[in-house]
Amino acid sequence: MALFDKQPEIPRSQFRDILKKSDIRIGQSKPLSENKKSLIEKKDFPKRFGETINRQEYDRTIRRLRSEKIAETDFAKKAKLGKELKFLQELEKKDNTPK
């Protein structure tokens, strides 16, 4: 079951919990650290959009990251953006139902 299957939006607190509990690996690397996950939430999903995160906001963030990755000329920054982008795409697909 994906992130937005049953509901059109999710509360920020639930999204934060999903980020903390996720163990998504990009390639052969380790899962992202707690600090990087919290930075993703703060940087990519700012509170000015409200107390919930909806499907459109999530898709808009992924599109913005793709365009930033394409425009970036520094390879290290481009790789970092690629990791973040893949993490968010896998998070969207993964089963995130509370156990």
Domain boundaries, the chain: 34-92
Over residues 49-68, mean pLDDT = 91
Confidence of residue 68 (pLDDT cuts 50, 70, 90): very high
Cα–Cα distance for residue pair 63/23, rounded to 1 Å? 23
Distances (CA, A) of 70 to 56, 57, 67, 75: 21, 20, 5, 11
pTM: 0.84
Of residues 39 and 48, the one with the higher pLDDT is 39
63, with CB counted inside 10 A (0-12, 13-18, 19+), is: exposed
87, with CB counted inside 10 A (0-12, 13-18, 19+), is: buried
Confidence of residue 96 (pLDDT cuts 50, 70, 90): low
